[in-house]
Structure 1
Amino acid sequence: MPDTMSSEAAQAVMPALREAIREAASLALPHFRPGEQTRARIWSKAGGSPVTEADVAVDAFLKVRLSQIVPAAAWLSEETRDDSGRLGADLVWIVDPIDGTRAFLSGHPDWSIAVGLLSAGQPVVGIVHAPASGHFYEAVAGAGARRDDVPIAVSACTDLPGARVTGPKPMIERLARGLTREGVEPDFVRIDRVPSLALRVARVAEGAIDVGLVSSDARDWDLAAADLILREAGGSVCDLAGRRTVYNRNNPVHGELVAVSEGLLAPVIAALTA
């Protein structure tokens, strides 16, 4: 397979990719206890964030399977030591074996497995699987976005009053203050924060949420797969200058971002930066 990927080639890897992610989910689900603390082994990484034996098992499994599906692709994952060789690669797997680990270990259903494939620095394949609900969100660049094989699209909402907003509380409060400064009543609907960032973005893509706010320090693996799904559904993940997110940089860490439809991008950014 060449080191760049056509839409046809991307479509061709999807069946094997779906099957690999289903198998990966089967490794995690026995450790997930709905509404209860996991019995999986837990330890803390540098910086204090938790990791479980399920994260590690899923990561190791996917590294082998995805390398078989696209052997030319480099690798970037939350649970694997970074290899700078990815910076010179045209194809890169971007993987979060369990996005929303704290939700997973506490029995909250909103955790996911997120897998994206970059070609020439842009996502061309993205899957976000929510094993607790069984939902599959997916996209191939240029081919639209789907949930469980049904096409999805962002909501038609273009005004912040009445919009459904989720994300970190400080950003939601800034959004409200910005609207007030603009003379607009901040009467948007506050939706409980979705612990998995990939799922938060995917729910904007399916129109269940209008605005997804993202605080600083998100990583490529939190975003790349879901960002493609959102792009194909009529939105994008952008910074507060309206620029689309760039992936596979030397430091894969991002500042504050918004996940919105194209129709809401300008008013959201204006309110956040007012």
Structure 2
Amino acid sequence: MQATDLALLTEAARKSGDIAKRYFQQNPDVTDKPGGAGPVTAADLAVNAMLEGLLQAARPDYGWLSEETEDNTARLKTLCQFVIDPIDGTRAFIDGSKDWAHSLAITEDGVPVAAAVYLPMRDMMFTAAQGAGAMLNGSPIRASKAPMQDATLLGAKPNFDGKYWKGGVLPPIKRVFRSSLAYRLCLVAQGRFDGMITLRPSWEWDIAAGALIVTEAGGTVTDQYGAALRFNNAHPQVPGVLAGATQLHTDLLTRLEPQQPNP
């Protein structure tokens, strides 16, 4: 990682917001991706084009992984990679909600080292660099230390089906939901919520930036089996995400019913 990588991501995230806001609530052109991969808008594509041009020109030796760029194996041969979601929470963007974000990370040898998650409609810029802490609009943030009985967990309703929990018994927590995975992770880092969970295979571009921000805010992030998250995989997914304060993370992990990993 270069010393100026975080500044580069922050600048790019703000430029992304400038573009996306021009499309927001303006009936953006929406199409469905092949294979049920979800919707994409003209705003997603415009932001992606800008980011690809700006970031790859600035760091031509870094690999590139983005939700809106066809993947290839070239990134697997690089030490550092951009991991980008031009708009995380596209459905929220289409619906006119403010809970969508630009998620930008740089990974090195499988580990996030710089990250920016920006919510332009809320003017919230979450940033982190490896070993330097996590920030919201330039001020330090820390994950909460709430015990299980007082915890509020971010997650979609299907994650709280009894089949995922030992004995079919759900943990004694409150559940809330926000659209963007990147935003959910940042809310945990901020301490506004105590943890987050998703038991579905998760795309790297949704979580790389947020994972570093949680870690630098003093939280713990793993996959649903408790293994450290590794990035720049040939198939860029990880088997779910569990994040929160260290003790809460441990308590939740012990209550999860082990699932058969995807082949």
- Tell me, yes or no, whether TM beats 0.5: yes
The answer to whether 1:146 aligns with 2:130 is no
Q: Select between 255-264 and 49-58 the one with higher mean Cα deviation.
A: 255-264
Task: Name the structure 2 match of 1:31.
Answer: 23
* AA in 2 matched with 1:42: V
* 2:116 counterpart of 1:124: no
Equivalent residue for 2:9? 17
| 1:133 to partner: Cα distance | 0.2
Aligned to 2:229: 245
8 Å CA contact 2:6, 2:128 repeated in 1 = no
**Residue matched to 2:261:** none
Shift of 1:228: 0.5
Aligned to 1:57: 46
State which of 147, 163, 174 in structure 2 corresponds to 1:189: 174
From 183, 203, 206, the equivalent of 1:222 is 206
Q: Using the alignment, how far apart are the partners of 1:72 and 1:83 within structure 2?
A: 15
Alignment gaps of 5+ in structure 1: none
Which residue identity does 1:239 align to in structure 2? D
Residue 68 of structure 1 pairs with residue 57 of structure 2: yes
Structure 1: how far apart are the matches of 2:158 and 2:5? 40
Per the alignment, residue 75 of structure 2 pairs with 86
In structure 1, what is the Cα distance between the partners aligned to 2:148 and 2:116? 29
Runs ≥4 residues deviating over 3 A? 173-181
Equivalent position of 1:209 in the other structure: 193
Alpha-carbon separation, structure 2, partners of 1:179 and 1:108? 37
Gaps of 5+ in 2: 259-263
CA distance in 1, matches of 2:153, 2:167: 13
1:189 partner amino acid? K
SS at match of 1:47: helix
The aligned amino acid for 2:196 is: G
> Percent identical across equivalent pairs?
34
Aligned residue for 1:111? Answer: 100
Q: Verify the 8 A CA contact 1:17 1:69 in the aligned structure 2.
A: no
CA distance in 1, matches of 2:123, 2:98: 10
* Aligned match for 1:172, one of 160, 184, 202: 160
